[in-house]
Amino acid sequence: GESVGLHLPTLSVQEGDNSIINCAYSNSASDYFIWYKQESGKGPQFIIDIRSNMDKRQGQRVTVLLNKTVKHLSLQIAATQPGDSAVYFCAENIDTGNQFYFGTGTSLTVIP
């Protein structure tokens, strides 16, 4: 079953501030993680990924941090913009398996 969960179901931030979305996982065999952004009525959009041999990865305005000791993943969005408003999911792949496990998501609202 799913082992991925998110700490907060909703998050509101002011435009221009940084956002941090957290995700907990329980399976120590998880070795690959992807953050997805899903806007209303659309499919999940790939944001950034990280493998378990890394603890940090940066993209454009986004950073993913992985703490394997406490089985925690976070997505940091710098200078949050209204277009960042969406539901964010972390997805977990266990032991090079063939499926991703998703949590229920965090809804991010950016206040102009």
Interface residues toward other proteins, by CB under 8 A: 1-2, 4, 31-32, 34, 36, 42-46, 49, 89, 91, 93, 96-105
Nearer to other proteins, 69 or 98 (CB): 98
CB of 97: closest distance to other proteins in angstroms?
7
In three-state form (DSSP H/G/I as H, E/B as E, the rest C), the secondary structure along 1-45 is CCCEECCCCEEEEECCCCEEEEEEECCCCEEEEEEEEECCCCCCE
Cα 85 from Cα 101, distance rounded (Å) = 22
Nearer to other proteins, 16 or 59 (CB): 59
CB of 51: closest distance to other proteins in angstroms?
9
Cα 109 from Cα 112, distance rounded (Å) = 10
CB of 98: closest distance to other proteins in angstroms?
4
